[in-house]
Amino acid sequence: MDYNPGGASPDPYVGDGSPRHAPAAGAVFDDFVEPSQPRDFAPVAGAWGEHEDLAARVRWRYVRGLQVILQRQLEVLVERHRVGALVCGVAAPSGCDNNNKPDEVKSEWEDDIFPRQKDRRRVEFAFLRSLRMLLPIYSTLAVCFLACHIAREAILPTDIYKWAMEGKIPYLAVFTEVDRLLGSSLQLQDCPLDARQLFNPVRVIGAWQLEASAGSIAQKVGLRLPSVNFYAIAQCCLKDLSLPVDKILPQACRIYEWAMPAELWLSSNPARVPTRVYVMAVLVVTLRVLYNINGQGIWEKICEEGRNTSGSDADANAPTFKKLDDSNSEEFGMRELLYAIADAYDKINVSHDYSSDLRSYLKYCKEVIFTGITVSVEKEHLIEIFSDMYKAREDDNPKEHIKSQSQGTEETTITEGVNKRYRDGTFVEASCISSSSGHDAMQILVSEMQHHGFHYMPPRKPRKSDGYLRYRRRRLSGGFMYVAHADYYMLLRAFAKLAEVDVRIMHISVLKLERGLACIEDRIEGSLNTLQNLSSRTRDELKSVSN
């Protein structure tokens, strides 16, 4: 019997891969009705048939479940995160409809698993292990990002990763919806494994691996992908940093169209730098060209002025940030740019929403991490008592609660230099310039640069013409170190925090882009010289002919 709920999904049984005794059609959504005849709570081993039939049942349930999970994730992207509905139509032709995958897995099972495993329970988990190796659960997140990339949406892998971790995309607790959409596998007797065993993810891959997985899927399917939507992503980045979009974005688009770096296309190489980093690199080069950031020592002057004008205040050593009412005005120069960059750096939030307070974290654990796990009535009652006590304490002393949160925030800003390590190996540091400690702000910045492998360079001497300064590594203390001025490092760390990568990775990407642009300029200069010599030679020949 074919399983086709609502007539909208294709038949998952293709060719010889269908089970010998296909299960009855499952209930759709909330129309599930318990059977009227008595039955056993747990079917006996013979109810699932031979190993081949058991493999087909597990394979069918797993593939259909992944399709339902992917469909649900795309719906949430459209409904909650303002993604265009085009992604739902793009996902199917992008190789997300895995109806042909069960046959590929079946041949592997017959050749490898059947001769070795005799116990039925071991066979079931051997099937599941092979399925997860070929079609991991996190591939649904990769397909979501791939669909957004094809639909030209300004969605980054960091957004998908963060939403999946916070439960804003059904992933960690999505197995609870599979039975509701497909019907319970044990009640329908179409698969011996329940939804938790099949679809409970082991981990959430980081943004770095997520982009590489999307590129690998596109390569296997044979898709010819476009580059990233540079305009939309760059516009979002400039808005997050409170920078003048109308002034910076057109120049950045010119550099992008001129250079067209290959790093702006998705790749299946997990060791390659993500595409979002090169978008940030183009913006860094654009800001340096527009505002002439070439080591003039503007940030040192800002720190010195803030220390002199503040006098004996508590925040004497921290530079005071001033904002312009209109960031697109002509008054927005290099000083205002550094003010805005430093202020936006402190406001970039890379932490998860559930880590804001204890109540949010407990709610996150209950609804996402430990969902579907039942406890005894006594434990449930005890949890409610503790929750009421905590809530009553907040209501009785709201001022103390707010004060404790503010103290925690101050401690977070003071403990600077503490790195947060993500699953994809990236580091993001806390702010150090705006801390209210008594240390000099410039000294704190220098120590942060040393912590990240940079050597601080003092400001350059005034020159008649300030050309574009290209940084290189220097051999210091028996090894190579990156060198940078304070003005340039302020740009690097802000964009690195926004991209959620290490500052050195951002610096390497900027250097690579600068080398590419320099190579293009050399070629253009060589072509112009050749054309000029050719034109002068032609004029000489014409003169000789006329004479």
pLDDT digits (tens, 9 = 90+) for 381-440: 888 888 888 878 776 665 555 445 544 444 343 333 334 444 344 444 444 444 433 348
The pLDDT value recorded for residue 325 is: 45
Q: Count of CB atoms within 10 A of residue 251's CB?
A: 16
Would you state the structure tokens that stand for residue 248, as one six-digit string? 């910076």
pTM of the model: 0.77
**DSSP type of residue 7:** G
The pLDDT value recorded for residue 21 is: 44
The pLDDT value recorded for residue 204 is: 86
The pLDDT value recorded for residue 382 is: 86
Task: Please return the burial class of 128, using the count of CB atoms within 10 Å of its CB with bins 0-12, 13-18 and 19+.
Answer: middle
End-to-end, the C-alpha distance of the chain in Å comes to 96
The pLDDT value recorded for residue 219 is: 92
Task: Please return the burial class of 118, using the count of CB atoms within 10 Å of its CB with bins 0-12, 13-18 and 19+.
Answer: exposed
CA gap 148, 159 in Å, rounded: 11
Q: Where in the chain are the domains?
A: 5-29+45-221, 230-351+428-515
The alpha carbon of residue 134 and the mean position of all alpha carbons in its chain are separated, in whole angstroms, by 23
Task: Please return the burial class of 388, using the count of CB atoms within 10 Å of its CB with bins 0-12, 13-18 and 19+.
Answer: exposed
The pLDDT value recorded for residue 235 is: 96
The pLDDT value recorded for residue 419 is: 42
The pLDDT value recorded for residue 464 is: 63
The pLDDT value recorded for residue 466 is: 66
CA gap 473, 466 in Å, rounded: 21
- pLDDT tens track of the chain, all 547 residues? 444 444 444 443 334 444 444 444 444 334 444 445 554 444 444 544 566 777 788 888 888 889 999 999 999 999 999 899 999 888 765 555 544 444 554 545 445 555 455 566 777 788 888 888 888 999 999 999 999 999 999 999 999 999 999 999 999 988 888 888 887 766 656 677 888 888 888 888 999 999 999 999 999 989 899 999 999 999 999 999 999 999 999 999 999 998 898 999 999 999 999 999 999 999 999 999 999 898 888 898 888 887 777 554 544 444 444 444 444 455 678 899 999 999 999 999 888 888 888 888 888 888 888 887 777 788 888 888 888 888 787 766 655 554 455 444 443 433 333 344 443 444 444 444 444 333 488 889 999 999 998 999 999 887 766 678 888 888 777 778 899 999 999 999 999 999 999 999 999 999 999 999 999 988 888 888 887 777 776 766 666 666 5
Phi/psi of residue 520, nearest 5 degrees: -65, -40
* Residues 16, 18, 22, 26, CA torsion sign: negative
CA gap 312, 329 in Å, rounded: 33
Judge whether 468 and 449 are in contact, CB under 8 Å.
no
CA gap 268, 242 in Å, rounded: 33
